[in-house]
């Protein structure tokens, strides 16, 4: 029997509703589990691959990995978007290796076959030369398209599963989070203009999925940064992202708002704005007053709140960035952080937010180095596999399930992490023959 069918998810995730939630150590460390995740999760869910603003012109492209599958996302001459497997249909060479760029056509570097921007085969080189292709040759129609490509407000997702639920249904409650972030723009649009921060860390991909929505860790993992903020306040250039306050005030901030465990594995943590009047009367009051007039009190409150979120399995939105993570092995993960600009916002607003991203998330920032160190420590600790389980019980007794099936938790509940593991268990249970 294939090893694929030997893994029972019930042996890896154990839940007693309201009381206990345990995850087995091998869910992070086992190579067979990792390979199964690539097939049953990454190649059968919606995976974020880019933003439409990154593909402005005919021939603009991005390359990406969906599980083990290399793909190209490409804009054609009519302005449409397509997604194709990054593989020549002749002898299998990858057509593009750059992360992004612009091409007039897709030419295979191995034997010179050419494909147009819609993926159609345009030229088979030396077709009629001696030793070439005879009259019965069946020329491939073109590149093989990825089964599904859909966009939500400019965010592009693909799926290898032609039968997967539509993207908007998959996003569910996360649409409200995305809407609130994009509605910070007067036009409702963002622009991904900066190059990403790229880093690799020693650890499993699920550590990043868990961490980005973990309100519990901040005061501990980022303790040195907390002390810096308490001492120097706004002079460190926080731009409102990590507000400089006393340690007590920062701790209180972390225990405001709510966490959410959503269907399909998504999760988020939300903290309401402490003082919307300060936004309306501050340096960028013109922007905020226009947004208040456009969306009303309730809508403006959502826009002004701070939300960290993850779209299962490998995309997050936090502050003014889109974050993507790619599994490489059970103990190695690549993370790309894309700061974005708010279309229609003052130039100083976008510049200030970019500076704040550099301060905390950039290669020499305070936050990213803290987190990658913790991931390495967790990875080291998980090698002690005589300890069988990790504990995700926090807040279970106070989580409330809504009519939609999502769970609302208190501010530092591990509700978002439980969303990940519930969906992980569901998908890993499916057999390879299921649609």
Contact between 366 and 241 (Cβ < 8 Å): no
pLDDT-based confidence at residue 435 (cuts at 50, 70, 90): very low
Spatial strand order in the sheet of 13-16:
13-16, 20-24, 389-391
Q: Are residues 132 and 272 in the same domain?
A: no
- Mapping DSSP to helix (H, G, I), strand (E, B) and coil, where does residue 167 land? helix
User: Taking 50 as the threshold, does the pLDDT of residue 226 lie above it?
Assistant: yes
Closest of 266, 215, 210 to residue 423, by C-alpha: 266
Q: Are residues 176 and 121 in the same domain?
A: no
pLDDT-based confidence at residue 241 (cuts at 50, 70, 90): low
Give me the percent of the chain exceeding a pLDDT of 70: 92
User: Taking 50 as the threshold, does the pLDDT of residue 2 lie above it?
Assistant: no
pLDDT value at residue 22? 97
User: Taking 70 as the threshold, does the pLDDT of residue 167 lie above it?
Assistant: yes
Closest of 14, 123, 100, 122 to residue 49, by C-alpha: 100
Note whether residue 263 is domain-resident: yes
CA atoms within 13 A on the CB side of 171: 21
Q: Are residues 277 and 365 in the same domain?
A: yes
pLDDT-based confidence at residue 364 (cuts at 50, 70, 90): confident
pTM score: 0.93
Dump pLDDT digits (tens) for 98-151. Answer: 999 999 999 999 999 999 999 999 999 999 899 899 989 999 999 999 999 999
What is the CATH classification number for the domain harbouring 128?
A: 2.102.10.10
User: Taking 80 as the threshold, does the pLDDT of residue 428 lie above it?
Assistant: yes
Residue 388's domain comprises 9-44+168-429
Q: Are residues 415 and 288 in the same domain?
A: yes
Q: Are residues 197 and 296 in the same domain?
A: yes
Note whether residue 325 is domain-resident: yes
Beta-bridge mates of residue 200? 334
| Largest CA-CA distance found in the chain, in angstroms, rounded | 80
Write b or e for each residue in 9-32: b if 16 or more Cβ atoms lie within 10 A of its Cβ, otherwise e.
beebbebeeeeebbbbbbbbbbee
Closest of 137, 174, 133 to residue 152, by C-alpha: 174
Q: Are residues 24 and 75 in the same domain?
A: no
Q: Are residues 80 and 227 in the same domain?
A: no
Mind giving me the DSSP string for 13-81? EEEETTTEEEEETHHHH-HHHHHHHIIIIITTS-EEEEEGGG--STTEEEEEEETTEEEEEEE-TTS-E
User: Taking 90 as the threshold, does the pLDDT of residue 253 lie above it?
Assistant: no
H helices within 268-365, ranges in order? 276-281, 285-304, 347-361
pLDDT value at residue 19? 85
When divided into structural domains, the chain yields a total of 2
pLDDT-based confidence at residue 169 (cuts at 50, 70, 90): very high
């Amino acid at each position: 029997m294939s090893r694929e069918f030997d893994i029972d998810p019930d042996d890896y995730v154990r839940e007693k509703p309201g009381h206990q939630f345990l995850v087995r150590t091998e869910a992070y460390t086992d190579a067979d589990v990792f390979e199964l995740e690539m097939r049953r999760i990454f190649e059968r869910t919606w995976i974020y691959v880019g933003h439409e603003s990154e593909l402005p012109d005919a021939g603009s492209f991005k390359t990406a990995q969906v599980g083990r599958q290399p793909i190209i996302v490409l804009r054609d001459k009519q302005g449409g978007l397509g997604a194709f497997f990054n593989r020549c249909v002749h002898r299998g060479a990858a057509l593009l290796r750059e992360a992004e760029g612009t091409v007039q056509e897709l030419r295979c570097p191995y034997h010179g076959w050419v494909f147009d921007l819609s993926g159609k085969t345009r030229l088979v080189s030396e077709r009629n030369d001696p030793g070439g292709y005879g009259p019965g040759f069946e020329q491939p129609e073109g590149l093989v398209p990825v089964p599904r490509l859909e966009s939500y407000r400019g965010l592009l997702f693909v799926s290898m599963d032609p039968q997967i639920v539509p993207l908007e249904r998959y996003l569910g409650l996360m649409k409200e989070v995305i809407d609130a972030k994009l509605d910070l723009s007067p036009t409702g649009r963002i622009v991904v203009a900066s190059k990403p921060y790229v880093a690799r860390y020693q650890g499993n991909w699920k550590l990043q999925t868990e961490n980005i929505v973990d309100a519990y860790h901040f005061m501990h993992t980022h303790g040195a940064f907390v002390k810096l903020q308490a001492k120097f306040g706004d002079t460190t250039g926080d731009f409102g992202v990590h507000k400089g306050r006393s340690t007590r005030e920062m701790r209180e901030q972390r225990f405001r708002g709510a966490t959410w465990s959503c269907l399909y594995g998504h999760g988020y943590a939300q903290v309401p704005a402490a003082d919307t009047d300060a936004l309306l009367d501050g340096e960028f009051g013109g922007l905020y007053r226009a947004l208040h007039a456009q969306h009303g009190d309730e809508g403006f409150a959502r826009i002004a709140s701070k939300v960290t979120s993850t779209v299962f399995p490998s995309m997050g939105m936090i502050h003014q960035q889109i974050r993507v993570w790619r599994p490489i092995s059970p103990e190695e993960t690549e993370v790309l952080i894309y700061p974005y600009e708010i279309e229609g916002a003052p130039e100083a607003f976008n510049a200030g937010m970019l500076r704040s991203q550099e301060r905390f998330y950039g290669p020499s920032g305070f936050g990213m180095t803290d987190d990658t160190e913790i991931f390495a420590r967790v990875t080291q600790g998980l090698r002690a596999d005589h300890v069988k389980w990790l504990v995700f019980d926090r807040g279970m007794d106070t989580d409330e399930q809504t009519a939609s099936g999502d769970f609302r938790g208190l501010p530092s509940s591990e509700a978002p992490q439980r969303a990940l593991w519930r969906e992980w268990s569901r998908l890993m249970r499916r057999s390879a023959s299921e649609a």
